């Protein structure tokens, strides 16, 4: 009896730990929900930093679930009024200077968005992180003093994605995405995104300072800062239409 009791003392804590640790896909799902909610409205500043210049862009952004997104450029003056609409996996760009909207072809999706170190593909395909990749838990890691789950994401066989692999570092206590590494098909590191400066918006905490650092390009980086952010705003699918894309004004 004494031996059986001793074995229980050893194995019960291990069983409880196994039951309370979520799997990799559940961790990513919680992290994505923490960042997006059901809907959101945000004001964001972007700085594209290069060795010989810095380009500043401000924009407003709306999202509804994973399928709908709309972004309106508010500055600088030469780009003011330009807008981008995402519906599913299709993206349109409204250009007021020529008074027309353009459905973006695959070649344009792979270009740097507004001259930044993130492509349009990166910005509009967030839902593919859950649907197009297999997820595997690796050893925990410490990122800037935050104990994180480490998760490897590898593309599913038929997934139409650009990256050969992603490594995500998600806080164990808060499910915030502190770092993501992007690898190409040859498993060479291409971009690293780090998140800092947590701030609470309503009931959610978000990292408000995101840095995108391209590998092998000294002096190059892009910084995104959330100036305002509101979750679970009242939005309908009709807001994310081509007609509204043309009507929006800064």
pLDDT tens digits along 120-144:
877 766 557 888 899 999 999 999 9
**Token pair belonging to 43:** 């004001």
Per-residue pLDDT, 102:
92
> What is the domain count for the chain?
1
- Say if 10 falls within a structural domain: no
- Say if 109 falls within a structural domain: yes
Range of the domain at 154: 22-247
117-154 exposure pattern, b = at least 16 Cβ within 10 A, e = fewer: bbbbbbbbbeebbeebbebeeeeeeebeebebbbbbbe
Per-residue pLDDT, 125:
61
Residue 19's Cβ-side half-sphere holds a number of Cα atoms within 13 Å equal to: 6
CA distances from 91 to 80, 121, 168, 171, 217 (A): 19, 9, 26, 31, 28
Per-residue pLDDT, 54:
97
**Token pair belonging to 106:** 């695959």
Q: Which of 195, 128, 111, 198 is nearest to 163 (CA)?
A: 128
Q: Provide the whole-model pTM.
A: 0.86
Which of helix, strand or coil describes residue 234? coil
- Say if 116 falls within a structural domain: yes
- Say if 17 falls within a structural domain: no
- Say if 72 falls within a structural domain: yes
- Say if 30 falls within a structural domain: yes
Q: Which residues of the chain have pLDDT under 50?
A: 5, 7-8, 14-19
Residue 19 zone, left/alpha/beta (φ > 0; ψ -120 to 50; rest): alpha
Per-residue pLDDT, 5:
47
Distance, CA of 107 to CA of 11 (rounded, Å): 55
Per-residue pLDDT, 18:
47
Q: Which of 82, 37, 83 is nearest to 63 (CA)?
A: 37
- Say if 102 falls within a structural domain: yes
Distance, CA of 24 to CA of 138 (rounded, Å): 9
Q: By the 8 A CB rule, do 223 and 209 touch?
A: yes
Per-residue pLDDT, 166:
95
Phi, psi of 96 (to 5 degrees): -65, -25
What's the CATH number where 167 sits? 2.50.20.10
Per-residue pLDDT, 161:
81
Per-residue pLDDT, 107:
78
- Say if 143 falls within a structural domain: yes
């Amino acid at each position: 009896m004494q031996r059986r009791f001793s074995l229980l003392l050893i194995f019960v804590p291990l069983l409880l730990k196994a039951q309370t640790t979520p799997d990799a896909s559940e961790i990513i799902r919680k992290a994505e929900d923490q960042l997006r909610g059901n809907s959101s409205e945000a004001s964001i500043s972007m700085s594209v930093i290069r060795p010989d210049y810095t380009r500043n862009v401000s924009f407003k952004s709306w999202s509804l679930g994973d399928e709908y997104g709309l972004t309106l450029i508010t500055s600088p003056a030469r780009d003011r009024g330009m807008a981008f609409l995402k519906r599913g996996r299709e993206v349109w760009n409204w250009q007021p200077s020529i008074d027309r909207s353009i459905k973006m072809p695959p070649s344009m999706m792979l270009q740097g968005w507004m001259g930044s170190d993130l492509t349009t593909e990166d910005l509009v395909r967030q839902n593919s992180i859950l649907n197009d990749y297999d997820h595997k838990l690796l050893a925990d890691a410490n990122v800037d003093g935050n104990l994180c789950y480490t998760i490897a994401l590898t593309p599913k066989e038929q997934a139409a994605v650009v990256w050969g692999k992603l490594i995500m570092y998600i806080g164990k206590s808060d499910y915030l995405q502190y770092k993501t590494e992007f690898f190409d098909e040859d498993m060479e590191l291409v971009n690293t995104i780090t998140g800092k400066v947590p701030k609470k918006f309503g009931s959610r905490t978000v990292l408000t300072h995101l840095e995108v650092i391209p590998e092998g390009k000294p002096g190059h980086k892009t910084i995104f800062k959330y100036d305002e952010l509101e979750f679970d705003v009242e939005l309908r699918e009709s807001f994310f239409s081509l007609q509204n894309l043309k009507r929006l004004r800064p």
